[in-house]
């Protein structure tokens, strides 16, 4: 869909960006190696493959998810790194308009099965760095 082949590859323990690089209501795309995250149903990828991801800020809240809709395994941005709805309150998939809570990634409207959610990634935020630390449940 929105191909941006120059997305930064970020390995587990590496820096995604400086916190100041992530403006309010904006996101930064990056890619994670499959072997750096826990497998999930439908992952269907080699450990050496890479999956698209993003980190997003809404005021003080900073979240990271795989860029993979829970409806179909497609990237969700409207334009590269644009994920929020018009009111900037929800993440919305551009393909069939699945709507997700920013904080939890839970689908609240649209075509996803009940209880479906985005796949969260773990991050650690310091004064100078936002670091990708793997899967949330690790
Ligand atoms: S692919 Fe995202 S809502 Fe269908």
Pair 34, 51: CB distance under 8 Å: yes
Ligand 1 centroid to Cα of residue 72, in Å, is 5
Does ligand 1 have an atom closer than 6 angstroms to the CB of 72?
Answer: yes
In angstroms, the CA 136 to CA 138 distance is 6
Strands, E assignment, 59-112: 61-66, 90-92, 99-101, 107-109
Distance 10 CA to ligand 1 centre (A): 25
Q: Which of 42, 71, 99, 108 to mutate to test the pocket of ligand 1 (most atoms within 8 A of CB)?
A: 71
pLDDT in tens, 22-66: 999 999 999 999 999 999 988 888 889 999 999 999 999 999 999
**In this structure, what token pair is assigned to residue 61?**
């809240």
Residue 71 CB less than 6 A away from ligand 1: yes
Report yes or no on 138 lying in a domain.
no
Domain count, the chain: 1
| Residue 55 domain boundaries | 8-132
Ligand 1 atom, smallest distance to 74 CA: 1
How close is the Cα of 66 to the center of ligand 1, in Å? Answer: 14
Q: Which residues pair with 50 in a beta bridge?
A: 33
Q: Is residue 82 part of a domain?
A: yes
65-69 mean pLDDT? 98
| Domain presence at residue 3 | no
CATH number, domain of 89, equals 2.102.10.10
Q: Is the CB of 111 under 6 A from ligand 1?
A: yes
Is 137 part of a structural domain of the chain? Answer: no
Examine residue 1 and state whether it is found in any structural domain, yes or no: no
Statement: residue 2 has pLDDT above 80: no
Arithmetic mean of pLDDT, 65-83: 97
User: What are the tens digits of pLDDT across the range 84-115?
Assistant: 999 999 999 999 999 999 999 999 999 999 99
Which residue's CA lies nearest to atom 4 of ligand 1?
Answer: 96
CA 91 vs CA 81, 97, 127: distances in Å = 11, 9, 26
């Amino acid at each position: 869909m929105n191909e941006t082949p120059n997305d930064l590859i970020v390995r587990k323990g590496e820096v995604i960006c400086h916190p100041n690089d992530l403006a309010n209501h904006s996101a930064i795309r990056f890619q994670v190696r499959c072997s750096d995250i826990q497998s999930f149903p439908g992952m269907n990828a080699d450990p050496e493959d890479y999956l698209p991801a993003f980190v997003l800020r809404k005021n003080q809240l900073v979240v990271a998810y795989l860029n993979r809709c829970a409806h179909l395994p497609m990237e969700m941005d409207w334009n590269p790194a644009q994920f929020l709805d018009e009111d900037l309150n929800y993440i919305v998939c551009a393909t069939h308009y699945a709507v997700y809570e920013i904080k939890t990634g839970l689908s609240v409207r649209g075509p996803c099965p009940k209880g479906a959610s985005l796949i969260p990634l773990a991050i650690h935020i310091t004064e100078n760095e936002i670091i990708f630390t793997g899967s949330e449940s690790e």
